[in-house]
Every structure is written in C-alpha cells, then in structure tokens.
Amino acid sequence: MTEKKIEIVRGSGNVYADMGDLDADTKQMKAFLAAEIIAALDRRHLTVRAAAEVTGVTPSDISNIRNAHLGKFTIDRLVRVLNRLDRKVTVTVKKARHGTVAA
C-alpha cells in the first residue's frame, strides 16, 4: 500500500467563501440565523404547526428552515422569525482580511 500525502487546508470559517461563492456572507448569515431558529424551536419543543403559529410563517416555511432550504428567505424575514421566538439579533461588521475579494 502506498502512502498518499493529504493536503490540509484551513478554512476561513465561511464554507461558502471557501467554495468561491460570490454571495458567501449572505448565505453564511442565513445559515447562522436558521440554526438559531432551529435551536429556539427545539428548546420550546414546538411542532411544525405550533412553530408556524408562533412565528407567523407557514408550516412549509418552518420545514424549509429546518431543512436548510433558505433560498427564498431574506435575512430580514429570518430575523423577524427569531424576534417572534423572543430572540434579539445583533450584527457585527468587521474590516475584511487582506486579500479577501469583495463582490
């Protein structure tokens, strides 16, 4: 058996940016917000229908969030869902690291 060298590459913390996605920051933020929504729903042990009633979105939207199908969601809509789950969202903006390409 021959040994193959494995190249280890340190990620940036944003898988979308690492894959070269031009909308990486938006997708990363949506994913983070969706994860927070899922955690809040799980803490409350809400069913899909109960979650829909509390958040004001449809049961299919709750399922889409749980399954990370976030393409039709805007950041502000996800923030509103979190607000209805008694969560406050804060945003931090930082200077981009040298060598990062802004789209």
In the chain the domains, ranked by start, together with CATH numbers, are: 21-84 (1.10.260.40)
Kindly state the tokens that stand for 79.
């923030």
8 A C-beta contact, residue 41 and residue 85: yes
Mean pLDDT of the 84-88 span: 96
Please tell me the predicted confidence (pLDDT) of residue 103: 47
Q: Is 31 exposed, middle or buried (0-12, 13-18, 19+ CB in 10 A)?
A: middle
3-12, 14-23, 47-56: least confident range: 3-12
Confidence band for 100, pLDDT divided at 50, 70 and 90: low
pLDDT tens-digit series, residues 42-73? 999 999 999 999 999 999 999 999 999 999 99
Asked whether the predicted pLDDT for residue 5 surpasses 50, the reply is yes
Asked whether the predicted pLDDT for residue 101 surpasses 90, the reply is no
Nearest CA-CA partner of 78 in 47, 55, 53, 94: 55
Nearest CA-CA partner of 89 in 101, 99, 80: 80
Mean pLDDT of the 70-77 span: 96
1-5, 34-38, 97-101: least confident range: 97-101
Q: Cβ–Cβ contacts within 10 Å for residue 24, how many?
A: 19
Asked whether the predicted pLDDT for residue 76 surpasses 80, the reply is yes
DSSP secondary structure string, 10-35? ---S-HHHHTT-TTHHHHHHHHHHHH
